[in-house]
Amino acid sequence: MRQIAERTGRHCLPLPSNRLGLYLALRHWCTPGQRLLMSPVSADEILFLVLAAGLRPVIAPLSPRDGNIDAARVDLSTVDAVLTTNLYGLPDQVGAFAGKILIEDVAHAMETSVGDRPLGTFGQAGVFSLSKHPGAGSGGVLAVEHVADLKALEQARDKLLEPGAFRDELLSVATSMARQVALRLDLVRPALRLARALGMEEPREGYRIPLLAESLSKALPHAPLLPPFDPWVRADLHSYRTERGRLASWYQARRVAAVPRERSRRLAGIERLAALPSAAPAVHDHLDQPLFRVPLLVRDRDAAIAQLERHGVATGYLYDPPYDDYALPFTEPSGDPEPARWWARNVLPVDPMYASRSLPVLRDLEPAPATRAGARTQPPPVQPLS
């Protein structure tokens, strides 16, 4: 995408999804068997992409200030690479990871900068999503510094792409357009009811997709091949490696071009939400950054979600439980999972573009009681390996 290339000053590879870009980057720069440091709170499919690349996920302790890796409590000498999350647009401490292979997941942070330098330019690769800030429904961009890497990644991408169909592409674009109209016209409640009636929501274990530990164990010997991990990686985006045509490319470019025009409105919403006592502390450090979502930390989060839905506000991008508890047999746990459990249990991400619709509910929410770093709680039961 031209806009992302201009913003980052990097060579960009268009992709059908952010998740395919993350896999390509991990495979290109990392060697199977290497240890990858990652946040305990991130999208479901990220863990499976790391496993698909043949890497050992090392779960980092989480900072309650921003929901990202707590770099001060990590021994970087024990890992080979780092995958940042930049959760909800709040930046990871990228400067702390110098000297390591660094893959930046900037799905939530398309517009975030650190010291006037855009995220996605600190590591070997920055992987952007066109379904987050742009709201294009799907699409991704992999930004790299060197042309040689771009060419190698393009060849690897083409080997994994599946042929698309115009009818499916048309349906995808139309669905995304309808979602944007529903948001603008305050039709979220009927849209949610229709989606649920049509069975358009993936089955979940809480807020995560089913782990299927036995099946996952059988897929692991096939790493670093990606297709054996499709049952997990494709969750809620079955076309994550389906080739896109001209219609999708046109629509995605149109949506990306609109992002800078929305900046002032997004910043105004962030400022209003940051004034709430439940706003995550790091939000106040980044009021000049057009965050994807503003994370609030509230008591009885699920009741708040239900109340927001009754006011026509949908809540997404919840990652509960953290990887320590969700996939313990397949990861190296952080050693102090309680801050991540606390964050995942209490975080309420709010779209700053529609802050005015949310505030009548949000003003009455009680902040979550503070977490105690180092505290131990009993984790939820883990599905045993057979």
Per residue in 31-40, pLDDT tens? 999 999 999 9
Please check whether residue 290 is in contact with residue 266, taking contact to mean a CB–CB distance below 8 angstroms.
Answer: yes
Instruction: Read off the pLDDT of residues 143-157 as tens digits, 9 standing for 90 and up.
Output: 999 999 999 999 999
Q: Is the pLDDT of residue 384 over 50?
A: no
Q: Residue for token digits 């479901």?
A: 44
Of the candidates 368, 382, 294, 261, the residue with the CA atom closest to the CA atom of residue 330: 382
Q: Is the peptide bond before 321 cis (omega within 30 degrees of 0)?
A: yes
Question: Tell me, what's the pLDDT at 261?
Answer: 95
Q: Is the pLDDT of residue 21 over 90?
A: yes
Confidence of residue 178 (pLDDT cuts 50, 70, 90): confident
Average predicted confidence (pLDDT) for the chain: 92
- Three-state secondary structure of 70-110: CHHHCCHHHCCEEEECCHHHCCCCHHHHCCCEEEEECCCCC
